[in-house]
Amino acid sequence: MFKALVLEQQDGETRAQTRQLELADLPDGEVLVDVVLSSLNYKDGLAVTGTGKIVRDFPMVPGIDFAGTVAESASGSFRPGDSVILTGWGVGERYWGGYAQKARARPEWLVPMPEGLDARKAMTIGTAGLTAMLCVMTLEEAGVAPDSGKVLVTGAAGGVGSIAVLLLSQLGYEVTAQSGRPETRDFLAGLGASDFVSRDEMSQPGRPLETQRWAGAVDVTGGAILARVLAEMNYGGAVAACGLAASFKLETTVMPFILRNVSLRGVDSVYCPIDRRTEAWRRLAHELPDSAFDEIGSVIGLEEVPGAAADIIAGKIKGRTLVDPNS
């Protein structure tokens, strides 16, 4: 028997309940993993609350990422005792995820734990950390360097945003953090943000081209904020867009692209190729200081997930939240 958070749909509503399950209840998968930790992401909040209607089949064990130890393996790629990380691939949406003490996975979904990380560190950064690192790599590949000018991070107090602020500041960038919560400024300053802009300021409708402010940007919000960011980009600047926390719509013009040579680059962490995914995890292990992992994460049990899921959707969560299925 093992413990899991199970989502059911009743009368059109999503209900979350902690249950005891048998190994036979798990879906098929060549690798059985003893889950050490998972984490709470915005997408998990959508799944658990039923807000986003992203779960395809019920019953479902949510949790879009986890770190653990291989218990059994029918794959030549992994052996019992191996430490592994799983992020993406539709886990927690179409396939059972990490909010359980045990999980089955396909070997191609798993990344070996890189040197310098363990389960707690890996899930403190988790999917959010992987996404943030992919955004940083995207800006680097677009030619945005620490001496290029200021870099903006939108939604900076959230999971992806807070890790992006930390990574960029560690790499020598001058980071401006945008958040809708003034009370998070001390937290963000501790991560390395040197300046701040409000959500209200960045949500204001603007002209097709505004005063140039940003050499680069990491955007997790979409919508009106992303439109404003694009209008304020420096000539040759680049935006790494990875989220739609505010809106999936983007009402903008071609002006920033054709008159300022601005590039808007999408970042996907769900189906990211294994070589790029592995490199991102290697860099996360190398770039982040040990102290960073203590500053970002807090830990909850499975029973606390439904309340925390509602909080992350409401914008009340600061930084990363870990989920310990064994507590």
Q: What is the 3-state secondary structure (H, E, C) of 42-66?
A: HHHHHHHHCCCCCCCCCCECCCCEE
Per-residue pLDDT, 315: 82
Rg (CA), the chain: 20
Per-residue pLDDT, 225: 94
Closest CA to 272 of 89, 43, 39: 89
CA 299 remoteness from chain centre: 16
Same-fold call for 2-113+292-324 versus 125-266: no
Give the strand pairing for 175-179 and 151-153: parallel
Closest CA to 56 of 122, 7, 109: 7
CA 30 remoteness from chain centre: 26
70 to each of 33, 105, 260, 316, how far by Cα in Å?
Answer: 4, 10, 50, 34
110 close to 84: Cβ distance less than 8 angstroms = yes
Write down the domain spans for the chain.
2-113+292-324, 125-266
DSSP 222: B
- Could you tell me the fold of the domain covering 2-113+292-324? Quinone Oxidoreductase; Chain A, domain 1 (3.90.180)
133 close to 283: Cβ distance less than 8 angstroms = yes
**Would you write out the chain's pLDDT as a tens digit for each of its 327 residues?**
999 999 999 888 899 999 999 999 999 999 999 999 999 988 999 999 998 788 988 999 999 999 999 999 999 999 999 999 999 999 999 999 999 999 999 999 999 999 999 999 999 888 889 999 999 999 999 999 999 999 999 999 888 998 899 999 999 999 999 988 888 898 899 899 999 998 888 888 889 999 999 999 999 999 999 999 999 999 999 999 999 888 899 989 999 999 999 999 999 999 998 889 999 999 999 998 887 777 555 899 999 999 999 999 998 887 678 999 999
Q: Which residues lie closer than 8 Å to 148 by C-beta, 6 or more apart?
A: 215, 216, 234, 237
Cα angle for residues 164, 166, 168 (degrees, 5° grid): 65
Q: Which CATH class is domain 125-266?
A: alpha beta
User: What confidence tens digit (pLDDT) does each residue in 272-308 have?
Assistant: 988 899 999 999 999 988 877 775 558 999 999 999 9
Amino acid at residue number 138: T
Per-residue pLDDT, 193: 95
Cα angle for residues 89, 38, 162 (degrees, 5° grid): 90
